[in-house]
Structure 1
């Protein structure tokens, strides 16, 4: 994953990547408890955000002018056991998160949860961080709170803890509703079909009958714009794109075979073609990655397919060319 001082997107095969993601607090007469939970559009997990935090237009969650954010990731119910199994300070240290103690229970209405508190450094800044995994009637949620150390006065720990105590679940919106709530539209599916959205930001597409494809036998496309401001210095687009591709954990032994750079409507568009192998099955893969760098944001479209179905790469590029921010 690439940290940008903002919530970080981990794009991967449906459910598999989610499975790798990595004391109840009583607040008497709390204004948070008196209010109703706020849910991102079409989402099934919500909470009462701290004062000053508003729903984000770029991801599923909330943000504050100070740079503080709450990212909500939804997963199937069966993901809870996988997450809890890896929900330890030692396991999360590999992501750069330093826990300040073991995980503790987190009270969730009609469900259960655990929370870890700690800190993480990114882009020269240090953030206070909370990571909670929760389960309710409609599924599993991973809630990540980041507060810049310089903003602790504007977003005190007590406000974060109070918000975490209000996590709630509701019936999820339909896939069509979730797609309509994305911050972009895809004009050409190019023969792929939508499978799911992730974090109110990413869209996963496949070409085949399976929604869950553990062997990597079906072509797949992931559309994922940056979250918040994520400026890449001019001239560094190629290095950024290669690093992004190398950190996609569903693929190993990545070898870039071609790089194409163009300018469209003032934006830099960089496409990489590569080969690799599926991290689980070892199946040879062909890969395309298109990133559009536009000012202080970027849009990334990643396509991967079994090597013997490389024609799907051209269709993935069609998907990339058709994406328009709303």
Structure 2
């Protein structure tokens, strides 16, 4: 399931950390009381028959491989996302939209939705991407159904589910942290901003929760959500490929690479230099991935080159993460 293995299609890691969601158009929404919400989440819906809450991410899954991923962001992210909510902007992610985005009715809010398809790992998916705003937040709702499973999760059921998107008061940050599948023992001077997709955590060092210009150091902690095990001996190659997907910086050059065994797990650390993809400002990044069994946990740290201590602190965060 492609959207379970990386950030939402078309959004950079910074966009995920600083912006918000995608909406769509349907009939009268259901009452919030009818919707099912992820733990500590403020965006929910009534899932199609056969879909159940996922234990690996914020959303729902079906035995056929169909899934609904819910990502929450600050209210101010909505406008920034809607600006880029076009078939052309999302094409680079591999998402092929059938037509331009359409309005999506949301109780007490607004939204837009794109419908189309995307291929990943040899599987073609029917896909819906909706960005919605309501209450005090923004939500990105991404639905993927394998073409072979459209009889089990039909289009009409997906559209009906999107029509029930609802908002409630969000859980506290403490509630969100408690719902994560891991703990962070050392924040190393960073502060938690919010959780993403029910299993990722964004931290920053500075007063802004939303930082579109990338002036503050940022750390993102994200587990693999059930990906198949990386073959032994290929961890380094996997880490380099993963870093290449980091859209925050361009002209990336790896400056350091190390491999270690800690408590039976393989840990690969990369340091790299490059330029901010938006401003051209020199930037530095650290990536630490812990491989253990069929899972891995990835920690990314990004900072300006005049903030070198931020990378060392991000690596302290990585060393302190423990699965529950």
Which residue is equivalent to 2:14? Answer: 13
The answer as to whether partners of 1:4 and 1:230 remain within 8 angstroms in 2 is no
Which residue is equivalent to 1:235? Answer: 233
The answer as to whether partners of 1:231 and 1:295 remain within 8 angstroms in 2 is yes
Establish whether residue 193 from structure 1 lines up as the match of residue 191 from structure 2: yes
Alignment equivalent of 1:164, drawn from 149, 162, 165: 162
The answer as to whether partners of 2:19 and 2:210 remain within 8 angstroms in 1 is no
Q: Which runs of 5+ in 1 are unaligned?
A: none
* 1:308 counterpart SS class: coil
The answer as to whether partners of 1:260 and 1:272 remain within 8 angstroms in 2 is yes
Alignment equivalent of 1:177, drawn from 175, 192, 200: 175
CA 1:51–1:319: 2 relative to 1, 3 Å: same
The answer as to whether partners of 1:22 and 1:87 remain within 8 angstroms in 2 is no
1:254-276 deviation per Cα after TM superposition (whole angstroms, max 9, x unaligned):
11011111223332211101112
Which residue is equivalent to 1:99? Answer: 97
Instruction: Provide the aligned length of Structure 1 versus Structure 2.
Output: 321
Establish whether residue 312 from structure 1 lines up as the match of residue 313 from structure 2: no
CA distance in 1, matches of 2:87, 2:26: 21
CA distance in 2, matches of 1:313, 1:89: 36
More divergent stretch after superposition (93-102 vs 234-243): 234-243
Q: How does 1:39-54 map to 2 (within 5 A)?
A: 39-54=37-52
Q: Which runs of 5+ in 2 are unaligned?
A: none
The two structures have a TM-score, normalised by structure 2, of 0.89
1:277-312 deviation per Cα after TM superposition (whole angstroms, max 9, x unaligned):
233343322321100122222110011222233223
1:18-41 deviation per Cα after TM superposition (whole angstroms, max 9, x unaligned):
3698984448xx9x8897101111
Which residue is equivalent to 2:284? Answer: 286
More divergent stretch after superposition (155-164 vs 4-13): 4-13
The two structures have a TM-score, normalised by structure 1, of 0.89
CA 1:81–1:207: 2 relative to 1, 3 Å: closer
CA 1:220–1:83: 2 relative to 1, 3 Å: closer
The answer as to whether partners of 2:274 and 2:284 remain within 8 angstroms in 1 is yes
Q: How does 1:72-111 map to 2 (within 5 A)?
A: 72-111=70-109
CA distance in 2, matches of 1:55, 1:73: 14
1:16 Cα offset (Å): 6.4
Q: How does 1:51-62 map to 2 (within 5 A)?
A: 51-62=49-60
More divergent stretch after superposition (229-238 vs 114-123): 229-238
The answer as to whether partners of 2:22 and 2:78 remain within 8 angstroms in 1 is no
The answer as to whether partners of 1:269 and 1:293 remain within 8 angstroms in 2 is yes
Which residue is equivalent to 1:210? Answer: 208
Which residue is equivalent to 1:142? Answer: 140
* 1:81 counterpart SS class: helix
CA distance in 2, matches of 1:44, 1:4: 24
* 2:88 counterpart SS class: helix
CA 1:17–1:251: 2 relative to 1, 3 Å: farther
1:129 Cα offset (Å): 0.7
CA 1:19–1:177: 2 relative to 1, 3 Å: closer
CA 1:106–1:137: 2 relative to 1, 3 Å: same
More divergent stretch after superposition (251-260 vs 231-240): 231-240
CA 1:228–1:18: 2 relative to 1, 3 Å: farther
The answer as to whether partners of 1:5 and 1:123 remain within 8 angstroms in 2 is no
CA 1:234–1:313: 2 relative to 1, 3 Å: same
